[in-house]
Structure 1
Amino acid sequence: MPDNEMDPAASTQMFRAFVAEDRPAAPGEPVRRSTPPVLLIAGVVIAVIVVAVAVLIAVS
C-alpha cells in the first residue's frame, strides 16, 4: 500500500531551508540594499517638521 500522506513538517523544513538559502543576485539584477537607519530617522524628523510648519501656517 503506497504512502500517500504528505508530511507537513517536511514541507516546512524545506521552505525554511529555501528562505535561509543565501542566493547571490543575478548578474543583471541590481543589488537591493536596505535603507540605513540614520536616513530613515532623518526622513521621519523632516516629515514631522514639515507637518508642524504647515499647521503653524494654517493656524496663523
Structure 2
Amino acid sequence: MSDGYVDPSGNTEQFRAFANPPDATTAVESPSRLPLVLGGAVVGVLLVAVATWLVLS
C-alpha cells in the first residue's frame, strides 16, 4: 500500500521545484510600458501638428 509520499528527486521537474521553491522576492516583474505608450502618443501628436502646420503655411 502506498504511503502517499512523493520523493522530490523522482524527476528533474519535481526536484527543481523542491530545491528552488517559488518565492515572491525572486519573481521578476516586467517594466511598465506606460512611458513608452505615452511617448509614442506625444510623438504622434507632434508629427500631426507639424504636418498640419506645413500644409496650412
TM-score by length of 1: 0.42
In terms of fraction of residues, the more helix-rich structure is 1
Query: Which of the pair has the greater relative contact order for Cα pairs under 8 Å at 6+ separation?
Result: 2
Task: Give the greater-gyration-radius structure (CA).
Answer: 2
